[in-house]
Every structure is written in structure tokens, then in C-alpha cells.
Amino acid sequence: MKSHTEYLTFNTQKREEFVRITDEVASAVAKSGVKEGFALVSAMHITAAVYVNDWEEGLIEDISEWLHGLAPKKNYRHHRTGEDNGEAHLKNLVMHHQVILPITDGELDLGPWQQVFYAEFDGRRRKRVIIKILGE
């Protein structure tokens, strides 16, 4: 079995951003030499997420609006610690922090509209994503 690890680094300009990372994940798969296996893509922060969906601006805006409805900005108990990112933690719980993607014949095996995204909910500082590839 082979394994390969890469890290992506983000320093978003806004507090909330959605960044398409499909090409970076596909590049890591190609470098890994794995022909059959899986790629784990995981946000290494509890105020960010990794997800798979369509790359369509209206949908991304809909996702953002939906998340703001589920976890609006307000005075969360978490803010008593001196933080101001309670809603970012809740958005992470809804969107999840990682995905597992299939690798077939040495390539990401995504559906016709599927893309991989990094979602940042507490940005403007350095954050990372790990890509861990395992297979043969």
C-alpha cells in the first residue's frame, strides 16, 4: 500500500469564503502514484469545512445564506472565552470537516458536477487542509 500526504495553506481575505480545491486534490493524487484507493481531504481547523458539491456561484451563495440562517451572528456562550466565532464552529458541524474521495485508474473519481471545496468561516488568518492519499 502507498501513502502520500500534502498540505494546502489558506489565508483568506474575508471572514467567510468558499474556495474550489478540486485541482489541488487531483494534483496530489497524480503525484501519489496511487491507482486505486482513497483521498481524505480534511480541514485542520474547527471553524472551516471541506465538502463536495456543484461549482455554481448561485448555489454557493445559497449555501452561504442557508448557513447564516442556521448559525446567525449573535452573542454565543462561546464568546465568553474572548472569541467571537461561535457561528463558525456551528457551521463546521453542519458542513463537516472532511470528505473521502475515490481514486480509480489513478484519478479522482468524481461525478460529472462534483467539485471539492474548502469553506472558511473564520478567515483572515493562516489555515491548513491535509490531503492524505492511501491505496495501491
Tens digit of pLDDT at every position of the chain (136 positions): 999 999 999 999 999 999 999 999 999 999 999 999 999 999 999 999 999 999 999 999 999 999 999 999 999 999 999 999 999 999 999 999 999 999 999 999 999 999 999 999 999 999 999 999 999 9
Output the pTM of the full model: 0.95
Cα 71 from chain centroid?
18
Identify the structural domains of the chain with CATH numbers, from first to last. 2-72+84-135 (2.60.120.460)
pLDDT at 103: 98
Angle at 29 between CA 134 and CA 26, to 5 degrees: 140
